[in-house]
Structure 1
């Protein structure tokens, strides 16, 4: 294991005296370094687009998006997967996050779990991975054995694979059909990849899941029309979305919201097409869930 060649392990020449700086100076430096992340991600856009298109195709075939990683990388995958449920009303199985060591590793490090290639393959077998799914391996270092083991197993059964790493020429890229590599430079705190590397990974995960959901009809205009109204705040947001999409009154939005059994997308189609609940549902089914198609 030679970490010396990894950008994420290199010392940042701008922060060699980090322990001598004032709070103001440290915060300024962090902000300046963080601004480099979005620029670095921009360079990877062509491959990010390719991965989004693959995930969208997978969803259209009933496939799933599976993230897998260890430590911070694994936690970020679990976070993105969890957020898809309330934002887009998808089944929890549609986007899943696997972390080396299992869910207890979300809060307490599980020693040695990330070093097991076998564990990566076993975790994918446990969720009955198939060739309609897409596996995205996440590793800031680009060399995590747990991720590599998972990618090898996925490839062996014909599953599409992608990776997100924060070093160029990453080892995991060799096991991926669609490698995303982002180099945002050394961390201000040497080797602390929860910083810029983690930010880069979060930005990319946002793009993958949101882009694929847009491509699956989960968005109309720029509104989250499949939001899951699981609390009072989200119920109010749902009514506002209906109002914004149809330019109706708050009262009419609330009425349609209840008639549609609190399904925002259905309520919008009911109003825009002047249809009852059953007819609007049929229109949405024919349009494969895309509101614009129901209006065409």
Structure 2
């Protein structure tokens, strides 16, 4: 791919004078460009929805969601993977992230690591990536060697592949089963893809993981009922959620949570169904943990 042809590498005419305007005008320039990002992501909704359905299917079949990227793109994957266990109560193994350059690259620049194609394959082998898993490659340019090598390895194993880029018809898009490519155009600062491209990628990744967890039954109405109550803030949140969802007092919510070991979903179901714990657990299992289905029994 011609590097000059990448939309993210163009010169933005709207910010050509950003270095010589007053500070407030400079910030307004950035804000005006940021406003365009959500509209670019909106155009990709059909592909994002298709990707969510595929991720859900793979996880239900025993697979894992694996993000892979370099630099800002890699850090976006790491952030999403790190937040899924506590937010949705999923096992640490279910959503993982690989970043070029390893753990140090999360907080230190390791720019050369993205060109090490062999490391992409090595990292996938290290986590025993297999055909049941699904790989989400993230790169604004769509041409990062670290990610492309991982995608090629995943293809050999028969795994499903999703590309999240900001350049349509990229090398990554051409190697993916599903390509998600919000076109945000040239950056405020030429080539600084941590800005609009990074924001777009974060929005897409938010949709992928949130949509997946909703469809896996980790949400009831719009409440995160599988949250891990690992600190006082989250315990209080659980209590409020159970009180709201089960239409009970906070005192009754706390009693239900204590009985269930702070399993919010089970507490809500017990509060709504009036079933004892063992029977409530059995009904939830029969409906794959999806609360609204269990309530329709």
TM-score category by the smaller chain?
Answer: over 0.9
SS of structure 1 residue aligned to 2:180: strand
Report whether the alignment pairs 1:207 with 2:207. Answer: yes
Corresponding position of 2:216 = 216
1:75 aligns with 2:54: no
User: What's the CA shift for 1:4?
Assistant: 1.0
Write out aligned runs for 1:106-121 (5 A).
106-121=106-121
State the partner residue of 1:266.
266
Which residue in 2 is equivalent to 1:242? 242
| Alignment correspondent of 1:18 | 18
Q: State whether residues 114 and 146 of structure 2, in contact with CA within 8 Å, keep that contact through their aligned partners in structure 1.
A: yes
Deviation at 1:59, TM superposition (A): 1.4
Q: Deviations over 1:44-81 (max 9, x none)?
A: 11111111000010111121100000000000000011
CA distance in 1, matches of 2:47, 2:118: 28
SS of the equivalent of 2:203 reads helix
Superposed displacement of residue 111, structure 1 = 4.3
Q: Which residue of 2 aligns with 1:124?
A: 124
State the match for 1:37 in structure 2. 37
- Determine the C-alpha separation between the residues in 1 that align with 2:253 and 2:79: 31
Aligned partners of 2:71 and 2:111 also within 8 Å:
no
3-state SS in 2 of match to 1:112: helix
Find the counterpart in structure 2 of residue 178 from structure 1.
Answer: 178
Alignment correspondent of 2:192: 192
Quick check: 1:143–1:170 contact (8 Å CA) kept in 2?
Answer: yes
**Cα distance in 2, alignment partners of residues 98 and 284 from structure 1:** 34
Segments of structure 2 that go 5 or more residues without pairing to the other structure are: none
Q: Deviations over 1:191-213 (max 9, x none)?
A: 10000000000000000000011
Q: Secondary structure at the match of 2:155?
A: helix
Is the 2:30–2:188 Cα contact (8 Å) retained in structure 1? yes
Alpha-carbon contact 1:80-1:205 (below 8 Å) kept = yes
8 Å Cα contact 1:170-1:181 kept in structure 2: no
Match of 1:53 in 2: 53
Q: Deviations over 1:56-110 (max 9, x none)?
A: 1011112110000000000000001111111101111100010001111001122
**Offset of 1:142 from its aligned partner?**
0.8
User: Runs of 4+ in structure 1 displaced over 4 angstroms?
Assistant: none
User: Which blocks of at least 5 consecutive residues in structure 1 are unaligned?
Assistant: none
SS in 1 for 2:148: helix
Q: Which secondary structure does the structure 2 equivalent of 1:225 belong to?
A: coil
Question: In the aligned structure 1, how far is the partner of 2:86 from the partner of 2:10?
Answer: 39
How far off is 1:188 after superposition? 0.7
Number of aligned pairs?
A: 296
Deviation at 1:132, TM superposition (A): 1.5
